[in-house]
Structure 1
Amino acid sequence: MITNLWYVAEWSEAVKDKPVKAKLLGQNLVLFRDLEGKVKAMADVCLHRGGSLAGGWVNEKRDCVVCPYHGWEYDGAGKCKKIPSEGPEFKVPDRFKVDAYPVEEHYGMIWVFMGDLPEEERYPIPPLAEYDNPKWKALKTDFVWKAEASRVVENGIDIAHASFVHPVFGYPSTAEDNYIDEVEKHEWWARSTNVMFPPQLKGGFLGWRNFIRKDKQETRVHPEWHLPGMIVRIQIDLREGWQIVMFDANTPIDEHTTKTFAWQFRSFFKQDIFDKGSVKRLKTILLEDAEIVEATQPYYLPETLANEVSVKSDKFMSTFRMARRKLVEEKGWQIDMDERDKHKGKQVLTVASPGRREAEANGDGWVFEKMPTVAPIKKATAKNEFEKDVDNLTTESANSKDSFVV
């Protein structure tokens, strides 16, 4: 699990006048709306005797969440503002604070930045131009995987599996005809264009889907990944002017569980009568993927290619692996789960927040210890062997039939 990234914690509509519990990177959070309607997010634990703040309430001023155990109040910055048992004249010490995290709301989602980077150093929340655009019909759903988030992302951008896992997307007999036409790489995101030859679509109200495309008609598919939000975005060009866009935020609840917050957009047949079938098909695809991904070994995404092989159809997935690997090896943003588990049930550990970073810079104290991370093992210098392998994959001819194994 990676810190210092934006993650979707909840749908916006789920957080109203009461505190809401969420879980990101194995850590419980409490979300609440203040008087201005802005969502606040902080560690869901009281400094006093460990009560769950999410089990409490928002005070009358709507500027603090109240612990249900002893009534301690915390503002949106995580600072304890009131301790009822000590009386109104008691001055709360400066160090009585918990980690609070930056929050933004976009696309009907609550995004929480789980880390301590200054604002100017954070990777941006990915764009979603289709949201609130009348040219697109939007539908949403969510889905829980018993799988690690990076595995879920990699599956989402793996076009080659469609011919075997998703009957609606491909034939096993045309797997060798599908190819990656183009790959565009950036530091925290990438996009590819793929050419596929899927089956004719079937079903829908009065069989409307049968008329979208012919059997094995050349179809262009554009997958993207973004590190912020662990986003998978896929655009499918069904025919001229007819596109489907899927935007999935894959949140690491913990190292064993991922929750997908998904938007699906279509540029055609935007009447409500077609919605039920669209949602049903989306959930069918997620279930087909989950059956495969949840049985994958090893459980975590391999950090090297030493005991795994890749071929040219994997070159786009490899761009994700390489970018993620840099966060681990160069930046040291991966949670050290072995070290964390030594304290499980014994001590509260919380992901470091911007407030903690500022306090440490000023020499101020902090009550809870911060979540341990894996120390970086190299600097960004010459390319390592993994990066060279990825470059080989991405520069080889996209539609070559020669086997290229790493």
Structure 2
Amino acid sequence: MYEPTDLASTATEYPAGSEIRESDWHILAGFWHPVAFSSDLADGPVASKLLDVDLVVYRTSEGAAVARDLCVHRGSKLSGGWMSDDGACIVCPYHGLHYDRSGQCTWIPANDPDSPPPAKTMRLFSYLAAERYGIVWACMKPEPLRPLPEWPHLDEFGPEWLRIQIPKGTWAATASRHCENFNDIAHISWVHMKTFGNRARPVVPDYTLEQTDYGLYMALPYIEVERGFNDDLGEREREVFYQHHLTYPFATDLKVDYYEDDGESFVTSHFFDIGSPVSARTTDIYQVSLTNIPGATVEDYAEYQLVTNSEDIVIVESQRPENVPLNLAAETHIRADRLSVRYRRDLVEMFGLGAPEMVA
């Protein structure tokens, strides 16, 4: 019923009750993760969750901001509030306290107008925030381990490109399982039979795999089957070329190139996919695409991606153990798994994830 008298603040860094191992939590907190689409903030603050921490995401006249979803006065959720008329502050729905982009309380309406300004200690537990690619990102440490993904195609693109924002999905799976699946080639011929998989061509070639400054690069050809799941195209084979740019820990730019049937029109699509770890076994999926497919529409393209996701989610949510085994001996591997094996090894060797817990 009551908090103990020796509890000075509820704003501790590692969230109580989290099933993410504390050592892994502190590492993952040092990366940038999506917490909202920019368009989500059009009508005011929104609630989000990252690494078991409830967040409020809001945009002031100075830019996007991310903080604990907790007013420091009496613990109400700020995501139920609104922005001030001048756009400079988020307003608590309980007592109307105003907080600026830095999290500092700037006005307490219940105080006498002649009162001194709110104490400097009256501020939200705020995090680093950045807005790029139509996404609001948060880093829960003062010094990020890595910069944001570098996706210049999403910063500037000409009128020949169509940008598609896929509705956010929430998967009952770990971010690493989702990331491995998105970058897995061998499953395509078996899982994606409603969309582009080709069961007649299951062999995965000895693909290019390179270490990069940001993570991994993989490139290979594949013979897709183009299926008109929502029209009368039927089925036909099409040779495509995949390039996966994986930015650690959970972000990928998948570039797909192919020639149209005329053999002259060259088509390129980018699938930008980021898994944001809500908790130990829940992941929000943020996806944005660019394509120059002639005649493509946002509605059809988004529907196609959602059908593709629906094929994947059945498999990924069923995987056991739910956590990706970072001990490479815990699962068997095939030749097509070279990327996922390198990915797991790098998570351990580069960042220290999965390290044995120290016993006092």
**What range describes the TM-score normalised by the shorter chain of this pair?**
0.7 to 0.9
Percent of matched pairs sharing the same residue: 26
SS of the counterpart of 2:153? Answer: coil
- Aligned-partner Cα distance in 2 for 1:134–1:259: 30
Given the alignment, which residue of 153, 166, 170 partners 1:129?
Answer: 153
CA contact (8 A) 2:170 2:283 kept: yes
Task: Trace 1:104-183 onto structure 2 (pairs within 5 A).
Answer: 104-117=130-143, 122-130=146-154, 132-142=157-167, 143-167=169-193, 168-176=195-203, 178-183=204-209
Q: What's the CA shift for 1:375? A: 8.9
Given the alignment, which residue of 296, 313, 317 partners 1:290?
Answer: 313
- Aligned-partner Cα distance in 2 for 1:271–1:313: 32
**Change in 2 beyond 3 A, CA 1:7/1:245:** same
Task: Trace 1:26-105 onto structure 2 (pairs within 5 A).
Answer: 26-36=52-62, 38-88=63-113, 89-105=115-131
Name the structure where helix makes up a greater proportion of residues.
1
**2:289 matched residue in structure 1:** 264
SS of the counterpart of 1:117? Answer: coil
**Change in 2 beyond 3 A, CA 1:26/1:219:** same
CA contact (8 A) 1:17 1:58 kept: no
* 61-70 vs 305-314, greater mean Cα deviation: 61-70
**1:238 matched residue in structure 2:** 258
Q: What's the CA shift for 1:251? A: 1.6
Given the alignment, which residue of 299, 320, 324 partners 2:322?
Answer: 299
Matched, 1:281 2:307: no
- Aligned-partner Cα distance in 2 for 1:194–1:134: 29
Per-residue CA deviation, residues 51-77 of structure 1 (Å, 9 max, x unaligned), is 111112223443222222233322211
Which consecutive segments of 4 or more residues in structure 1 shift more than 4 A? 200-206, 374-377
- Aligned-partner Cα distance in 2 for 1:242–1:301: 35
Name the structure where strand makes up a greater proportion of residues.
2
**Change in 2 beyond 3 A, CA 1:64/1:261:** same
Per-residue CA deviation, residues 147-174 of structure 1 (Å, 9 max, x unaligned), is 1111111100001111110124333442
Q: What's the CA shift for 1:225? A: 1.5
**1:312 matched residue in structure 2:** 335
**Aligned Cα root-mean-square deviation (Å):** 2.7
**2:211 matched residue in structure 1:** 185
SS of the counterpart of 2:142? Answer: coil
- Aligned-partner Cα distance in 2 for 1:270–1:322: 42
- Aligned-partner Cα distance in 2 for 1:180–1:30: 45
SS of the counterpart of 1:13? Answer: helix
Per-residue CA deviation, residues 170-229 of structure 1 (Å, 9 max, x unaligned), is 3344223x214211212432110122233354466563x86xxx63x543211221126x
The normalised TM-score by structure 1 is 0.71
Could you tell me which runs of 5 or more consecutive residues in structure 1 were left unpaired when the two chains were aligned: 335-373, 378-406
SS of the counterpart of 1:197? Answer: strand
Given the alignment, which residue of 14, 25, 35 partners 1:9?
Answer: 35
